[in-house]
Amino acid sequence: MGNNTFLYFGFASNMLEKRVRLSCPSAQRKGKGKLKGYKLDFNYRSERWKGAMATLTEDPNGVVWGAVWEIPISSRMELDRKEGVESGVYRVLEVKVDCDGEFLSCWAYQCTRPFDQDRRPSPFYKSVILEGARETFLPFDYVKMLESIEDNGYQGEVDWNLELS
């Protein structure tokens, strides 16, 4: 990693390359990574995704798999904007991610909003997460766990190119 880049841990829609490249066109996938001490959770309803968005919740026994990206520092403001940092939807966390036995310091995003009653993602958002998980070659058991997440059944249109709302 150079001085002009940072490592980013994408654990939901940002595992998918075409999604990350919307705000970071020159992002390079470094591989898959495992974050211990957290679990994948869904909490705040997104109008854009038409269901609950993914977040990291502290859990001493938890493990979250995702994609590790090397991203130019020049793209950080755009990534923060896309993730809703300025509007207070997400905050940046610095986490240690196990990438094939090497622990890397990565940035990740955690939702700051209170948990909604309906914490289910839309079928479309879930499908983007699953496509990214497969593209990242996450472990079979983890992909099966992602497949088992109950969605909210929303069948309307979703414009996934917009920033968070």
- Binding residues are 8-13, 125
Give the pair of three-digit tokens for residue 1. Answer: 């990693």
Q: What are phi and psi for residue 124, nearest 5 degrees?
A: -65, -50
DSSP letters, 72-137, are EGGGHHHHHHHTTTTTTSEEEEEEEEEETTEEEEEEEEEE-SPPPS--PPPHHHHHHHHHHHHHTT
Binding residues for substrate: 8-13, 125
- Residue 30: left if φ>0, alpha if ψ -120 to 50, beta else—which one? alpha
Residues noted as catalytic: 83
